[in-house]
C-alpha cells in the first residue's frame, strides 16, 4: 500500500488512527499526533495520510480562531521523518514525489487562516521541526529532553521539508546556516535565544499556553531581525560571503567527501530570493539526488546501528538494569579523571582515588573548569552546575567505597596491580558491586582471577579523550554475567556513550584492528614513502587524522607496548616493525614529549605542528617511491579490514553492524563509507581478495616476517568471493 510513493510500514494502522482533532472549546482545535503503532510519532506514511485528512477537515471548518499542533504528551511531539523509509527507497522519482507531497501538506498548514501554534517538547528533529516552522508560532517545553534542530546533513541529506528556506526567514541567514550545517539539536533555551522558537513554558503548562496563544488570549512576538534582515539576509554580497566562508569550512573539514552540506549551502544561498514553491522543488531535487546515494545509505546505517546499541541494557519484562547511583574511580590520570568527570556530569555521585594529591587537584580543577565553561555558555543552569561539581569528590585513601554500585579502575596497565586493587576492593564493597576495568590490553578474565564473585568483573574500555570519544567497549570475561554486562552497557548509554559488547580477546576489537594499520604505516614510512603523503592519503580516504599523526597522539611507547601484546596473542601476522626502535627515546614519544613524527608546540603556543626535520634519517628503504597512491591506501586499509573479518569469524562482536559501529565511533573510520565492512561490500569481496593476494605476493611484503600471513585473505572473505555474498545483504 502506498500514497504518492510513500511506503507504508507493515503494521500500519487504519486511516484516522494516527491523528485526532480535539475541540476543548468553541473556536479552538487541537491536532494531536498520536499513532498507535509507535511510542513516539514519526512522520511516516500513515501519519502523513491522517494529517492530510485532518488539515482538510480544518480547512472546511468555520468559526475557528486557533489551531494547536501537539503530541500525545508534552515531551512527545514527533521524531521527524521515517528514516527507515528513506533508507529503503532507491528510486529518485519516488523520493521526489514524497518530498513534494509533504511540502504541499506543510504549505496548506501555513495557509490556514486561524492562528496556528506548534506545542513541542522532547526531541523535535528534522521533519518535526519543519512541521513546526509551518505554523505561525512555536511554543516549547522547558525541559532537558527538549532538543530542536535540523540534523539531516548528519544523515547525508538536507532538510527537505522546508528547512533550508523557512529557517533562514525565521532566524536569519548566518544562524540558519550554522544550524543546518552543524546538524545540532538545540536545547529549548538556546533555541529561544536564536529565535527558533517563540516561547518556553513548563511541560505541564505547554498545551494551555499554546491554546491561549492560538486564541489570541496571550500576546506573543516573534523575534525580528530588524535592519539585519535587509543588510545581511537579503544582501547578495553579504549572503555570498557567508556561503563562501561556509563552503571553505565544510571542504576543510570534509575534504569534499560529504555532498549534503555543499548542497545545503547552495540552497541556503538562494533561499530568500526564491518563492516557497520554487524552493520546495529545489529541496525535492536535492533529496532525490542525495537520498539514494552511497553516503546517505552509509550514514543511515551508522545511525541505525547506534540506535540499536543504545537499546543495550534497556529494561524489559525479563531484565532490569542495575541502578548506578554511586561510583568509584581508581586512578586520577588522564583517563581516570575523564571518566570520573563524565560520571559526575551525568548524575552519578563519584569518588575519585589516587595516591598523588597533585593528580587529584588537577582532576577536580579540570572538572569544575568545564562546568564553569558550560555555565557561561548557558548550557547549564546554576543549580545544575553546582550539583555537577558537588557530585565529584576525591580521596587519597582507598576506602569509603562501601556503598558504591560500580567501581572502575584506571590504574597502571600491569596485571598484578589490577588484580591486587580488585582484591582489596572486594573486602569493602558488596558482592553486587560491579568491578569494571578500563584496561586496553590486559585480559578481563585474568584480572578477575582470585576476585570473589568474578561474574561481576567486566571491561568498560573508554577511549581518549573520554569526553569526546563516543564508543565504550563492554568486554565480557569468561565469567562475566550477562546481567552485569548489560547493566554496564546501560550505564554507558546514560553517560552519553555508545556501547558495543566485545569478547575478551587481545586488543578487544578497536585496538586489535588499529595494530596492523599503524604497523603498516610505520613500514611504509621506513620504506621511503613520505610521511606527509601517508597522512594526507588517509585524510583524503576519510580518516580523522593520518596514522603517523595518530601514533604521536597515542604515544610511541604505548603503541610499542600494544603491538607487543598483539604479537604475543596472534603470532606472525602481528609481528611488529622494528623500524621505530632507533627513533623512539624517552624524549621522543609523540605529543606528550613534544616530538615524534611531528614537532608539537607545548603549552599555549599558537605555532602549528610541523613534521620533524630529521625523519629522513629513519627511512632505510626507497621501494616506497614505486608505490601508487592506491597501493598505499590498500596496504593501510586492507590490513585492518582483513583483521576485522578474522575478528568477525571469531565472534568478537555480535555481527557486521556492531563491528562497523565500533570502527566508526572508536577509531574514526570514515563515516561516509559506513564502516569497515560496508566499505568491503562497496569494493566487493572478489576484488578485495585479489588485492590482498597481490599485496601478500609482493616482494616487499612476502619477504618480511609475518607479511604473507597478515595479507592472506581471511577464510570468510575467500568464501564470500566464491559465492558473491556480502556482509550486509
**pLDDT tens profile 425-472:** 998 999 999 999 999 989 999 999 989 999 999 999 999 999 999 999
| Residue 11 confidence (pLDDT) above 90 | no
Sign of the C-alpha dihedral, residues 98, 102, 105, 110?
A: negative
405 contacts 327 by C-beta, under 8 angstroms: yes
559 contacts 552 by C-beta, under 8 angstroms: no
> What pTM does this model have?
0.92
Burial level of 607, CB count in 10 A (0-12/13-18/19+)?
exposed
pLDDT at 282: 97
Three-class SS state of 677? helix
Mean residue pLDDT of the chain comes to 94
* Mean pLDDT of the region 559-587: 93
**501-526 pLDDT tens trace:** 999 999 999 999 999 999 999 999 99
Of 558, 519, 527, 573, nearest to 699 by C-alpha is 527
Distances (CA, A) of 670 to 664, 666, 684: 7, 11, 18
117 contacts 209 by C-beta, under 8 angstroms: no
Which of 103, 461, 673, 678 is labelled catalytic?
Answer: 461
Burial 283-314 (b: 16+ CB within 10 A, else e): bbbbbbbbbbbebbbbbbbbbebbeebbebbe
Q: Is 616 left (phi over 0), alpha (psi -120 to 50) or beta?
A: alpha
Measured CA to CA, the distance from residue 712 to residue 481 in angstroms comes to: 36
**268-324 pLDDT tens trace:** 999 999 999 999 999 999 999 999 999 999 999 999 999 999 999 888 888 899 999
pLDDT at 6: 67
- In the block, cell 591506501 appears at 633
Q: Is 383 a catalytic residue?
A: no
Measured CA to CA, the distance from residue 343 to residue 349 in angstroms comes to: 7
**Cell representation of residue 612:** 620533524
pLDDT at 441: 87
| Residue 4 confidence (pLDDT) above 60 | no
**66-111 pLDDT tens trace:** 999 999 999 999 999 998 888 888 899 999 999 999 999 999 999 9
Q: What is the dihedral of CA 376, 381, 385, 391, to 10 degrees?
A: -160
Q: Domains of the chain (ranges plus CATH)?
A: 2-292 (3.90.226.10), 326-504 (3.40.50.720), 511-723 (1.10.1040.50)
Provide CB contacts within 8 A for 5, sequence distance 6+.
91, 93, 94, 95, 97, 98, 101
What phi and psi, each to the nearest 5 degrees, are found at residue 473?
-80, 120
pLDDT at 1: 38
Of 370, 630, 631, 676, nearest to 510 by C-alpha is 676
pLDDT at 7: 75
115 contacts 216 by C-beta, under 8 angstroms: yes
pLDDT at 2: 44
Amino acid at each position: 500500500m502506498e500514497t504518492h510513493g510513500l511506503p507504508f510500514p507493515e503494521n500500519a494502522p487504519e486511516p484516522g488512527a494516527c491523528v485526532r482533532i480535539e475541540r476543548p472549546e468553541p473556536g479552538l482545535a487541537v491536532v494531536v499526533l498520536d499513532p498507535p503503532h509507535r511510542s513516539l510519532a514519526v512522520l511516516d506514511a500513515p501519519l502523513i495520510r491522517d494529517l492530510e485528512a485532518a488539515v482538510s477537515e480544518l480547512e472546511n471548518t468555520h468559526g475557528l480562531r486557533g489551531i494547536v499542533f501537539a503530541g500525545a504528551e508534552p515531551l512527545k511531539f514527533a521524531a521527524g521523518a521515517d528514516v527507515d523509509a528513506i533508507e529503503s527507497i532507491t528510486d529518485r522519482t519516488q523520493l521526489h514525489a514524497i518530498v513534494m507531497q509533504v511540502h504541499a501538506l506543510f504549505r496548506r498548514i501555513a495557509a490556514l487562516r486561524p492562528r496556528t501554534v506548534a506545542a513541542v517538547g522532547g526531541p523535535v528533529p528534522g521533519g518535526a521541526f519543519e512541521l513546526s516552522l509551518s505554523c505561525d508560532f512555536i511554543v516549547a517545553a522547558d525541559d532537558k529532553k527538549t532538543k530542536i534542530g535540523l540534523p539531516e546533513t548528519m544523515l547525508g541529506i538536507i532538510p527537505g521539508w522546508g528547512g533550508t528556506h523557512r529557517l533562514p526567514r525565521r532566524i536569519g541567514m548566518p544562524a540558519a546556516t550554522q544550524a543546518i550545517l552543524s546538524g545540532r539539536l538545540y536545547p529549548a533555551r538556546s533555541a529561544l535565544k536564536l529565535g527558533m522558537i517563540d516561547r518556553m513554558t513548563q511541560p505541564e503548562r505547554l498545551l494551555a499556553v499554546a491554546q491561549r496563544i492560538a486564541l489570541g488570549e496571550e500576546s506573543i512576538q516573534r523575534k525580528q531581525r530588524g535592519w539585519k534582515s535587509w543588510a545581511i539576509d537579503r544582501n547578495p554580497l553579504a549572503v555570498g560571503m557567508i556561503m563562501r566562508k561556509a563552503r571553505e569550512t565544510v571542504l576543510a573539514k570534509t575534504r569534499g567527501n560529504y555532498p549534503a552540506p555543499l548542497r545545503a549551502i547552495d540552497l541556503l544561498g538562494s533561499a530568500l530570493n526564491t518563492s516557497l514553491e520554487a524552493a520546495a522543488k529545489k529541496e525535492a531535487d536535492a533529496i532525490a539526488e542525495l537520498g539514494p546515494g552511497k553516503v546517505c545509505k552509509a550514514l543511515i546505517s551508522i545511525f541505525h546501528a547506534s540506535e540499536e546499541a543504545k537499546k543495550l541494557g534497556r529494561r524489559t519484562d525479563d531484565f532490569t538494569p542495575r541502578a548506578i547511583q554511586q561510583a568509584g574511580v581508581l586512578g586520577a590520570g588522564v583517563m581516570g579523571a575523564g571518566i570520573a568527570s563524565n560520571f559526575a556530569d551525568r548524575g552519578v555521585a563519584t569518588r575519585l582515588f589516587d595516591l598523588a594529591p597533585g593528580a587529584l587537584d588537577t582532576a577536580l580543577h579540570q572538572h569544575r573548569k568545564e562546568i564553569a565553561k558550560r555555565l557561561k555558555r548557558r548550557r547549564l543552569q546554576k543549580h545544575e552546575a553546582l550539583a555537577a561539581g558537588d557530585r565529584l569528590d576525591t580521596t587519597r585513601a582507598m576506602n569509603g567505597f562501601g556503598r558504591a554500585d560500580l567501581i572502575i579502575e584506571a590504574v597502571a596497565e600491569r596485571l598484578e596491580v589490577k588484580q591486587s586493587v580488585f582484591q582489596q576492593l572486594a573486602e569493602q564493597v558488596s558482592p553486587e558491586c560491579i568491578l569494571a576495568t578500563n584496561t586496553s590490553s590486559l585480559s578481563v578474565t585474568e584480572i578477575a582471577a582470585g576476585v570473589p564473585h568474578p561474574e561481576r568483573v567486566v571491561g568498560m574500555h573508554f577511549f581518549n579523550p573520554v569526553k569526546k570519544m563516543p564508543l565504550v567497549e563492554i568486554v565480557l570475561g569468561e565469567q562475566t554475567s550477562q546481567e552485569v554486562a548489560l547493566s554496564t552497557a546501560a550505564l554507558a548509554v546514560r553517560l552519553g556513550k555508545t556501547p558495543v559488547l566485545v569478547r575478551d580477546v587481545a586488543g578487544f576489537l578497536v585496538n586489535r584492528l588499529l595494530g596492523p594499520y599503524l604497523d603498516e604505516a610505520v613500514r611504509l614510512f621506513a620504506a621511503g614513502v613520505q610521511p606527509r603523503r601517508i597522512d594526507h592519503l588517509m585524510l583524503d580516504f576519510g580518516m580523522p587524522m593520518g596514522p603517523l599523526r595518530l601514533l604521536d597522539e597515542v604515544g610511541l611507547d604505548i603503541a610499542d607496548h600494544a603491538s607487543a601484546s598483539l604479537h604475543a596473542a596472534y603470532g606472525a601476522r602481528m609481528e611488529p616493525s622494528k623500524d621505530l626502535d632507533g627513533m623512539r627515546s624517552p624524549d621522543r614519544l609523540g605529543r606528550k614529549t613534544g616530538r615524534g613524527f611531528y614537532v608539537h608546540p607545548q603549552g599555549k603556543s599558537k605555532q602549528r605542528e610541523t613534521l620533524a626535520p630529521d625523519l629522513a634519517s629513519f627511512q632505510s628503504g626507497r621501494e616506497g617511491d614505486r608505490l601508487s597512491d592506491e597501493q598505499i591506501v590498500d596496504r593501510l586499509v586492507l590490513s585492518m579490514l582483513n583483521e576485522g573479518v578474522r575478528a568477525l569469524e571469531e565472534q568478537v562482536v555480535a555481527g557486521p553492524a556492531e563491528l562497523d559501529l565500533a570502527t566508526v565511533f572508536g577509531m574514526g573510520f570514515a563515516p561516509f563509507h559506513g564502516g569497515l565492512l560496508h566499505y568491503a561490500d562497496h569494493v566487493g569481496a572478489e576484488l578485495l581478495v585479489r588485492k590482498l593476494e597481490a599485496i601478500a605476493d609482493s616482494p616487499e611484503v612476502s619477504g618480511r616476517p609475518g607479511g604473507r600471513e597478515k595479507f592472506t585473505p581471511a577464510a570468510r572473505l575467500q568464501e564470500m568471493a566464491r559465492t558473491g555474498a556480502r556482509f550486509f545483504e
